[in-house]
Amino acid sequence: MAKDGQPTRFPRFRVWWRIYNATENVLASLPVVLLLPTLAALVGAAYAASHPSSPRGTSFSSALVGALVSGAGTLIAVVLLIFFWLLAWYRLRGDRVWKVAWSFKANERFPGVHSRVDGLNLICDMAPPSSVATLGDVEAVLRSPRGEYRRMPNRGMGGDSHVLGFSPGGLIGWEGGVYEVRWYGTTSRRRRYEIARSKYMLEPPDWANSGLIPRQAA
């Protein structure tokens, strides 16, 4: 964090907490009944290995340990496969429920009289819509084209039960270039996790870069 309390980069590891939570949910949704045939297969394989036709068969305990180790390795491989599949899906497709909406509008109503409207919203894109209350304590971190970062806490946002938003221009300034935002929520265990991320290429009119629009002091 910078001296003024603002971040100097996007928080680390929050995307990993997101995927960790999603992996937990996927594993919890698997039917428990699958454990019974799996256990039976392990015991059966161990017993069969301990009773070969040859008199030099391995003991039942050794065969069982080998089967359990093999089963644990398979389980770890499945968990890792789910974890990285969810990570790849999120990086390529984003969140399935929550989407980021950007809005930048500027015009010159009269000679020398300029106006602008900007907004950055987190919107539920699901029917029926989910409440923002399910996200916990939300915050957003915004990066400007200059590489400056600003944090917007939940208390500084507006919206309703399905939308949260704020003015990026009022928070970090307004200029041409690539903006990036990442939204974060909080789990019931008080873990910060990433909800959604998005980039936006702003190409304002020429007068917007002429100094006529004052930028908020850092």
Can you give the pLDDT at residue 37?
60
Can you give the pLDDT at residue 172?
78
Both 64 and 135 in one domain: the answer is no
Q: Which residues constitute the domain of residue 100?
A: 95-209
Can you give the pLDDT at residue 5?
75
Both 173 and 136 in one domain: the answer is yes
Both 89 and 176 in one domain: the answer is no
| Domain total of the chain | 2
CA distance 72 to 76: 6
Both 79 and 99 in one domain: the answer is no
Query: Is residue 51 a part of any domain in this protein?
Result: yes
Can you give the pLDDT at residue 217?
32
| pLDDT, the chain, mean | 78
Can you give the pLDDT at residue 75?
74
Both 193 and 125 in one domain: the answer is yes
Per-residue confidence in pLDDT tens, the chain, 218 aa: 555 678 899 998 999 999 999 988 888 877 655 665 666 666 666 666 666 654 555 666 666 676 667 667 777 888 888 899 999 999 998 899 999 999 877 666 656 555 566 789 999 988 888 899 999 999 999 999 889 999 999 999 998 889 999 988 777 777 778 899 999 999 888 899 999 999 988 875 544 444 433 333 33
Q: Tens of pLDDT along 64-103? A: 676 667 667 777 888 888 899 999 999 998 899 999 999 8
For the entire predicted model, the pTM comes to: 0.73
